[in-house]
Amino acid sequence: MSRLSQLIGAVGGSLLIVLVSSCRTVGVNEPAPVDFQGPVDQSIVFLIHGDADYLYHGADGTAFQADEEAMKEALRVGERNPKAEVFIFHERPRKRRLFLFPRNDGTFYYFRAGKLVAEETYRRGQGDSRLDPEVAFYHTYRSKQHTPPVRMLVYMGHEIPEMDNVPYDASRRKGEFSVDHFSRGMAGLTAGTGPFDLLVLSACYSGTPHSIGAMIPFAKSIVASPDNLHLSHLDLAPLERLDLKLGQEEGGESVNAVSDFARDFARASFDRLSDEIQTVVTVAVYDTDRVRSYMDWVAPAYDSTLAALQEVAPARLEHVDCVDIGRFTLPEMSEGVDMLYRAPRFGRRADRAVHSGWQCWQEVVR
C-alpha cells in the first residue's frame, strides 16, 4: 500500500469515528435502568434555560450569567435535601464539532438523598414538546415507590411566548418554544404520575390567562410573576431542607400543606426583590382548582385576542393588568389568587395600589 493510500485510510477512519461519536445522544434513546434504595419524601425537577442573553452585572460591576447562578442554587438544593430526589436539566447553547456536527447541548444531574448519583450530557429535543429528552430521563430515574413524594417542578428562563413562531434560543434561530410546547412537555412529565403539587414559573409574564390555563391540568398550585420579573429568577433558597418544611407523617400525609409552602416561597422572593429593585414587583400563587371558573370564562376571548395579535408587530404590543381590559374583567377574577404586589418606585404606574394577579396582551393605541 502506498504512503498516500495509508494516509487516506487514516483520515477516513478518523472521520468515521467523528461521525459515529457525533451522532450519539447520551441517555435519551436507551436510558439505563436505575434502582435506588430508600424512600423519597420530596421530588424536585429544575428546567433551567441557558441558551439566551442572561448576562448581568452586580453592584461592584462583576459580570454574572443568570442561568449559571440559578444552576449553583439548584445544585445546592440537590445537596441540601436529605430525603429528596432532585432532577436538574441545564439547556445550554448549541455548539458544533468541526463546525459541522452538533454537540450535546444539555446537561442532566440527578441527586438522591443529597448525593449526586448521575450526571450526563444529552442532545436537546426539537419535537412538538422540545422536552422529550428531559421526559425520558425523568421517567427513567424517578422514584417508583408506592407512596408518592411531594412533587415540584421549577422552570427558570425568559418569558415563555404565548404566541407561536417565536424563536426562543440564541443558538437555534429557527427553534420555537411556546406555552403550548411547554404544555406538551408537562403532559409527558406527568404521564402516569398525576399533576405536580407545585409548579414554579420563574419567568417574566407567566401569570397570564393562557399560561396558567395551560398549566392547570399539570399542577395543583402555581407560583408565577404576572409582570416583569427581575432577571427572570425567583429565590430558590426556600427549597433547601424540605424535610424540615414538608416532612411526612405515617401514611404519607404532609405535615405542612404544599399550598402553605407555596405562599412562603412566594413571600421570600417578593421580600428579596422588594429590597433589591425599584421596578414593579409581582409574585402570585394560583390555586388551580379555584381559578378554573375564571379560566373557563376568559379563555375564549383571550385566545381569540392572541390569534389576532399574532399578526401585529411586536413593537405595537404591550402587557397590562387584565382588569384594565373590559372584556377580560370579572368581579371574581382574583378568586384563588394570592397576590403580592409592590408598585414601581417611579413611572406612570407608581401610583397603582393593587394588581388583579392576571396580565394580558393588548395592542398599543397611539
pLDDT per position as a tens digit, 30-45: 444 455 667 899 999 9
Q: Residue 360 carries which DSSP code? A: E
Nearest Cα to Cα of residue 105 among 221, 31, 25, 197: 25
- The pLDDT, as a whole number, for residue 255 is 52
- The pLDDT, as a whole number, for residue 214 is 98
Reply yes or no on whether the pLDDT at 322 is more than 90.
Answer: yes
Q: What is the CA radius of gyration of the chain?
A: 22
Q: Give tens-digit pLDDT for 194-249.
A: 999 999 999 999 999 999 999 999 999 999 999 999 877 899 999 999 999 986 55
Q: Residue 167 carries which DSSP code? A: B
Reply yes or no on whether the pLDDT at 5 is more than 70.
Answer: no
Split at pLDDT 50, 70, 90, the class of 94 is confident
Nearest Cα to Cα of residue 49 among 188, 164, 181, 221: 181
Percent of the chain with pLDDT over 70: 85
Reply yes or no on whether the pLDDT at 12 is more than 80.
Answer: no
- The pLDDT, as a whole number, for residue 164 is 82
Q: Which residues contact residue 312 at a Cβ distance below 8 angstroms, ignoring those fewer than 6 apart?
A: 363
Reply yes or no on whether the pLDDT at 251 is more than 80.
Answer: no
The alpha carbon torsion through 158, 141, 139, 90 (nearest 10 deg) reads 20
- The pLDDT, as a whole number, for residue 16 is 33
Split at pLDDT 50, 70, 90, the class of 55 is confident
Distance in Å from the first CA to the final CA of the chain: 78
- The pLDDT, as a whole number, for residue 101 is 60
Cell digits of residue 181:
410546547
Percent of the chain with pLDDT over 90: 68
Of 121 and 63, the structure prediction assigns the larger pLDDT to: 121
Maximum mean pLDDT: which of 11-20, 56-65, 117-126, 251-260:
117-126
Reply yes or no on whether the pLDDT at 366 is more than 80.
Answer: no
Cα 22-26-31 angle, rounded to 5 deg: 150
Asked which of 252-266, 291-305, 352-366 is least confident by mean pLDDT, the reply is 252-266
Summary mean pLDDT of the chain: 86
Q: How far apart are CA 107 and CA 28, in angstroms?
A: 12
Residue range 113-140: mean pLDDT, rounded: 92
Reply yes or no on whether the pLDDT at 302 is more than 60.
Answer: yes
Cell digits of residue 90:
441545564
Q: Which residues contact residue 83 at a Cβ distance below 8 angstroms, ignoring those fewer than 6 apart?
A: 39, 40, 41, 42, 113, 242, 243, 247
Which secondary structure element, helix H or strand E, spans residue 266, and what is its range? helix 258-276
E strand segments, the chain: 42-49, 55-57, 63-65, 84-91, 96-97, 101-102, 106-112, 115-122, 150-156, 196-202, 219-224, 281-287, 317-321, 337-342, 359-363
Burial, 213: exposed, middle or buried (Cβ in 10 Å; 0-12, 13-18, 19+)?
buried
Q: How far apart are CA 47 and CA 243, in angstroms?
A: 22
- The pLDDT, as a whole number, for residue 128 is 74
Q: How far apart are CA 39 and CA 24, in angstroms?
A: 34
- The pLDDT, as a whole number, for residue 127 is 72
- The pLDDT, as a whole number, for residue 296 is 96
Residue 264 amino acid letter: D
- The pLDDT, as a whole number, for residue 63 is 86
Split at pLDDT 50, 70, 90, the class of 21 is very low
Instruction: Report the residue count for the chain.
Output: 366
Beta-bridge partners for 85: 43, 112
Reply yes or no on whether the pLDDT at 99 is more than 60.
Answer: no
Of 17 and 27, the structure prediction assigns the larger pLDDT to: 27
- The pLDDT, as a whole number, for residue 61 is 83
* Residue extents of the structural domains in the chain: 37-363
Split at pLDDT 50, 70, 90, the class of 174 is confident
Residue 86 amino acid letter: V
